Amino acid sequence: MENLQMTLKLEKAPETIEGLDISNFYGDQAVGTVVRFKEGRPQRSGYRNFRIKSVDGIDDYGMMAEMVRRRVAKGTPPDLFVVDGGRGHLNVVKKVLTQVVGLGSPEAVAIAKHDESRGAMRDKIYIYGRKNPVKLEEKDPILLFLMRVRDEAHRRAVGYHRRLREKALTTSDLEHIHGVGKKRKKHLLMHFKSMDALGRAGVEEVANVPGISMALAKKIVQFFDQNAEQR
């Protein structure tokens, strides 16, 4: 933590760190998650999930702002927030912290995945008020630690979002698939017993159901794949 302080020019060595991430599918079922680390180790009692309530459509910045406000309202914030994103996400977080907490608000940094299309090889770390990102060597312990915090927040956000979307799927949604009427829906549910089991099935498994062609089976599998995707 002392090395982290020196590398990122923090005011003090952060005893508590929280990673922030959001997840949504084209604005649908948007969620945010917080993971907490104390003295460099995960503290799962500090993990939190948030269902985004005030933001409609695709607005990552608005979602991040809402989550930070609600997190700070729940109790003492950490010494350092680690944001999954770039400079824009970091600016939003710092703005909210300044508005809500005021002087002495927690510090925050952002870590963005490297863009291979532009030839980047390593993730970038953004410090508030600094124009250029901090670039550390691929195996630098500070970079690896920040990646761990970011990846833990991302893993939790994606998992929580996926559970909500799967829960939201109902048997009536099958009728949105062109070619699946009430009779075929009945055959599918009789064969697989549940929407969850159907959603895990492959094309050939679905095509084994009476009345389901290979072409229709592909549509059904694609329907579940699209609903499980996370961006």
Q: DSSP for 172-203?
A: GGGGGSTT--HHHHHHHHHHHSSHHHHHH--H
Distance CA 2, CA 14 (A): 8
Residue 69 lies in domain: 2-167
Whether residue 53 is found in the same domain as residue 121? yes
Q: Are residues 117 and 190 in the same domain?
A: no
Written as one letter, the residue type at 43 is: Q
Over the stretch 44-53, which tens digit does the pLDDT of each residue have?
Answer: 999 999 988 8
Do 146 and 214 fall into the same domain? no
How confident is the model over 135-145, as pLDDT tens digits?
899 899 999 99
* C-beta of residue 23 within 8 angstroms of C-beta of residue 160: yes
Query: Which of 122, 146, 167 lies at the terminal end of a domain, its last residue?
Result: 167
Q: What is residue 12's DSSP assignment?
A: S
Strands (E), the chain: 16-25, 28-38, 41-42, 48-51, 80-84, 107-112, 124-127
Rounded CA gap, 34 and 44, in Å?
Answer: 10
Positive or negative torsion for Cα 156, 228, 25, 28: negative
Separation CA 215–CA 203 (nearest Å):
9
128: domain CATH number is 3.30.420.340
Examine the fold and report which residue of 114, 145, 167 is the final residue of a domain before the chain moves on.
Answer: 167
Q: Are 141 and 199 within one domain?
A: no
Half-sphere exposure of 102 (CA within 13 A, CB side): 0
pLDDT band at 168 (very low <50, low <70, confident <90, very high): low
**CATH assignment at residue 201:** 1.10.150.20
As for how many domains the chain has, the answer is: 2
* Domain shared by 41 and 121, yes or no: yes
Tell whether the model's pLDDT for residue 230 goes beyond 60. no
- Judge whether residue 166 has pLDDT over 70: no
